[in-house]
Amino acid sequence: METLRVGMLGAGTVGSGVARILLEEPDRIVRRCGRRIELTRAVVRDPLKARDEVFSRVPVSGNPRDVLDAAEVDVVLELMGGLEPARTLVRSALQAGKDVVTANKALLCEHGEELFSAAREAGRTIAFEAAVAGGVPIIHVLGQSMAANQITAIEAIINGTSNFILTDMFRNDAAYDDAVRKAQAMGYAEADPSMDVEGTDAAQKLTLLTLLAFGTRTRPEQFQVQGINTLELADLKYADELGYAVKLLATAKLLEGGLEMHTQPTLIRQGRPLATVEGANNMIALTGDVVGQTWFSGMGAGQMATASAVVSDLIDVAVGRAQLTFPHLDVWGAHAPVPLQPAEQAFRRYYLRFNVEDRPHVIADITDILGRNSISLASVIQHEAPEPDDVPSGAAPIVPLVIMTHRTTEGQLRRASAELDALNCLRRPKVCLPVSD
Amino acid sequence: METLRVGMLGAGTVGSGVARILLEEPDRIVRRCGRRIELTRAVVRDPLKARDEVFSRVPVSGNPRDVLDAAEVDVVLELMGGLEPARTLVRSALQAGKDVVTANKALLCEHGEELFSAAREAGRTIAFEAAVAGGVPIIHVLGQSMAANQITAIEAIINGTSNFILTDMFRNDAAYDDAVRKAQAMGYAEADPSMDVEGTDAAQKLTLLTLLAFGTRTRPEQFQVQGINTLELADLKYADELGYAVKLLATAKLLEGGLEMHTQPTLIRQGRPLATVEGANNMIALTGDVVGQTWFSGMGAGQMATASAVVSDLIDVAVGRAQLTFPHLDVWGAHAPVPLQPAEQAFRRYYLRFNVEDRPHVIADITDILGRNSISLASVIQHEAPEPDDVPSGAAPIVPLVIMTHRTTEGQLRRASAELDALNCLRRPKVCLPVSD
């Protein structure tokens, strides 16, 4: 079979990892797909900028048309990231009759509908294993291995940065800010970590997983997204005391009322596989109506884990598998997609932490509000406050009060929360995290 | 596209699960592969025997030729188990121009070389996702998702029966025999559980994984296979005290000297994902030279988990993916397969438990033998023995002595073991388990 010729858009960290595999392991590639895969050229924003020496062996230019218009490019590998010009270039590549491999979850989350349709019209394929959970082949799993199943639940730790920060806070008694700086120093977090720590990155990945699993097109604005940037070490410690680990969990569950979907720091009972995920690892727990519960775990990001996924996509294109799989993915909105359940109907347990004045009737005031909103309590932690002698005279000491509720709806919790905000015995922050049992 | 027509050999538990999915979820199947999959007939040993009522909707006969010679069968689904007549029938099916889907790991372990070659000669495909780890799509993962990688290590819990028994012993302080009876009562163990508890089943599955990962053809007789049937609750408790869980671990590691390969009850450090696998679940930890460590977990057996894997294979055949993947699997012995490392060269830590007479110089005798064989000790547990008053006069009390060694070779350990057996202060059993750190 003829060589598969790849044109690369963007030649950064992942790109150099991909180039390295293709250039250094040609025999392995031929063994896996029966043909060579050749990186014929790369396009970058600034061809004069210093880059990985592997690109000394690949023609590099600054003009995307060198890839899009080249007859000697069969597959366009989009590794630029961001929305534009990635969107325009991917569309052009498809229209020029080229298959596309991409690691760009933001692009597919924002413009997937348009790009998937453009691919179908052009009779081409988009492969995107690397867009979610890097080294964990969850797109393969959803698109092929679970094909006998209706997926009924996804619970996923899919932001390695957040999980690294939470692990560091808990293991090393680190404050949030210190853990972020450490993650940045180690290359796990960007200079501006907001996409990761605010939950947006995980939410974007969740929209791709739910599209594949349920055919449901969503955007992060349509469901509850909360990041780890409001967490304190105290919450991780209280959760541990209660028998839980706190993880940024992206969740989608198929319920009678529709799809329950949210991305939030969540208490997960210790001993469950999701609670054991440490550092920058990812884990996706999938439940299928036939297979039951399954778990998939590995490095969710990083140069080589992502490059592994990209190259597996290139091999799938070279073999012809990707072209067979793509038309049957549930990404076309054709099969009566499951609607989103209104956020207020989510029915869960919650962890609440209040900073309260240590004076009579405070617990009564709080539990009265919860009780009137039909929220019953599973457990309460209030450790001893410092003796009054140790705090400024006159002021009541401020002490943390932690409450685990029984199951209640998000709507009831929000009503109670508004009433609680009006209590003058409460100090910020008020923390509210869901529980996954 | 035309309907894919399936003929089933064997209509037992898994077969009825498969039949149920195909008959009850036809729309799902069409969505996933763009064509119908029809169960056109089933062949059983005794057509008069009572079976699942789903087979009232499928023509059932007692003659395999009804499937093998039928023009209206495209795929033969082999679910009979055992070596013969499965081997002959699969070969006939391939020669008759039919693709084969099978869940029969024993067949592929014993006769894979012959059958894979027969498939290649006939230009047909054998798909066998269900042969290893049921609901965990490890064959897909090795054959496709990890295609950019050279696998460097496999550590796998792939016998659900053994893991169920070990979990029950540890969690419920159960003796081995009681846990086996419970596993039988709950359907996790056969009336004769020897294939599972002696390690043969896990070893057979390991040979399939190593064939795919390293191209190495092996048989369980060629590497160390030890089952859980020699374990006692005491060993699980001592391991726990030392910070380890005991699991039946199937291991293959790519080392300079070749492939280190064994299936043994193994101490796994607590906190590692493999140590958390409970009940009848399976987990395969794969390390790839590009992707790093990955973990795949789910139910390894049982009607529906296995049926899920079988139906995903049928869908792969219906789409045409399986036919593209099969020729590129490393099952042909074509690519200079990695040789097995001699068992004596395995270099590991070991857990040793002796029952010794509680009298002077016993520890000195044992540690002298270990030391002369260059085995150094990492830790020793000997709890207090009952006071001499409590044992029959004259006899020294028998007490357990537990030793964790530093790394040593299996060869050194075996030499020491032979010397230890000659000591007259030791009573049976003498337990020796490797450690995976």
- A155: domain CATH number is 3.30.360.10
A284 and A239 in one domain?
yes
The per-residue pLDDT for B358 is 82
Any catalytic annotation for residue B205?
Answer: yes
Burial annotation A124-157 (CB, 10 A radius, 16+ → b, else e): bbbbbbbbbbbbbbbbbbbbbbbbbbebbbbbbb
- Asked if B298 lies within 8 A of A292 by C-beta distance, the reply is yes
For chain B, positions 242-271, list CB contacts with chain A under 8 A: 271
Q: How far is A213 from chain B (nearest CA, A)?
A: 12
How many separate domains does chain A show? Answer: 3
A207 part of a folded domain: yes
- A99-102/A75-78 β-pairing: parallel
B154 and B251 in one domain?
yes
Chain centroid to Cα A382, Å, comes to 34
Let me know how many helices (H) and strands (E) chain A has, helices first. 15, 17
B205 part of a folded domain: yes
Given B86, B113, B131, the domain boundary residue is B131
Q: Which residues in chain B have Cβ-Cβ distances shorter than 8 Å to A298?
A: 291-295
**pLDDT tens figures, A399-408:** 899 999 999 9
B147 and B106 in one domain?
no
How far apart are alpha carbons A70 and A42 in whole angstroms?
12
- Asked if A137 lies within 8 A of B150 by C-beta distance, the reply is no
Cross-chain CB nearest to A144 (options B288, B291, B312): B312
Q: CA of B194: how far to CAs of A55, A255, A371, in Å?
A: 57, 42, 57
- Find which of B21, B101, B145 to mutate to test the A interface (most A CBs within 10 Å of its CB): B145
The per-residue pLDDT for A252 is 98
Mean pLDDT of B196-211: 97
**Whether the predicted pLDDT of B21 surpasses 70:** yes
B255 part of a folded domain: yes
DSSP 3-state of B300: coil
Given B79, B96, B131, the domain boundary residue is B131
**Whether the predicted pLDDT of B430 surpasses 90:** no
Mean pLDDT of A221-225: 96
B111 and B188 in one domain?
no
The per-residue pLDDT for B388 is 59
Mean pLDDT of B186-208: 94
- Asked if A324 lies within 8 A of B320 by C-beta distance, the reply is yes
The per-residue pLDDT for A187 is 87
**Whole-prediction pTM value?**
0.95
By annotation, the residues of A acting in catalysis are 205
**Whether the predicted pLDDT of B301 surpasses 90:** no
A13 and A62 in one domain?
yes
- Asked if B328 lies within 8 A of A32 by C-beta distance, the reply is yes
Given B116, B131, B146, the domain boundary residue is B131
Q: Which residue of B has its CA nearest to A213?
A: B32
B400 part of a folded domain: yes
pLDDT band of residue B393 (cuts 50, 70, 90) is low
Mean pLDDT of A321-336: 86
Would you call B295 an interface residue with chain A, using a CB distance cutoff of 8 Å? yes
B72 and B145 in one domain?
no
Q: Which residues in chain A have Cβ-Cβ distances shorter than 8 Å to B299?
A: 291-294
A290 and A192 in one domain?
yes
Of B319, B172, B425, give the one whose Cα is nearest residue A320.
Answer: B319
The per-residue pLDDT for B294 is 97
pLDDT band of residue B390 (cuts 50, 70, 90) is low
- Asked if A295 lies within 8 A of B297 by C-beta distance, the reply is yes
Tokens 């390695």 belong to which residue?
A160
B327 part of a folded domain: no
Q: How far is A20 from chain B (nearest CA, A)?
A: 10
Q: Return the H-helix or E-strand segment holding B184.
A: helix B176-185
pLDDT band of residue A363 (cuts 50, 70, 90) is confident
A214 and A103 in one domain?
no
**pLDDT tens figures, B95-154:** 999 999 999 999 999 999 999 999 999 999 999 999 999 999 999 999 999 999 999 999
- Asked if B140 lies within 8 A of A135 by C-beta distance, the reply is no
Give the angle A52-A57-A59 at the CA atoms, nearest 5°: 95
Q: How far is B330 from chain A (nearest CA, A)?
A: 8
Q: Which residue of B has its CA nearest to A329?
A: B32
B96 part of a folded domain: yes
A325 part of a folded domain: no
**Cross-strand pairs, A60:** A42
Q: What φ, ψ does residue A390 adopt, rounded to 5°?
A: -90, 0
For chain B, positions 393-422, list CB contacts with chain A under 8 A: none
Parent domain of A93 = 4-131
**pLDDT tens figures, B324-380:** 999 999 887 777 788 999 999 999 999 999 998 888 888 899 999 999 999 999 999
How far apart are alpha carbons B198 and A218 in whole angstroms?
50
A293 and A214 in one domain?
yes
A328 part of a folded domain: no
B124 and B27 in one domain?
yes
For chain B, positions 328-387, list CB contacts with chain A under 8 A: 328, 330, 335
- Asked if B150 lies within 8 A of A299 by C-beta distance, the reply is no
* CATH number (domain holding residue A12): 3.40.50.720
- Asked if A296 lies within 8 A of B296 by C-beta distance, the reply is yes
**pLDDT tens figures, A167-209:** 999 999 999 999 999 999 998 898 999 999 999 999 999 999 9
B118 and B259 in one domain?
no
pLDDT band of residue B394 (cuts 50, 70, 90) is low
- Find which of A35, A128, A145, A150 to mutate to test the B interface (most B CBs within 10 Å of its CB): A145
B254 and B156 in one domain?
yes
Q: Which one has a higher pLDDT value, A149 or A338?
A: A149
Q: Running DSSP on this structure, what letter comes out for residue A150? A: -
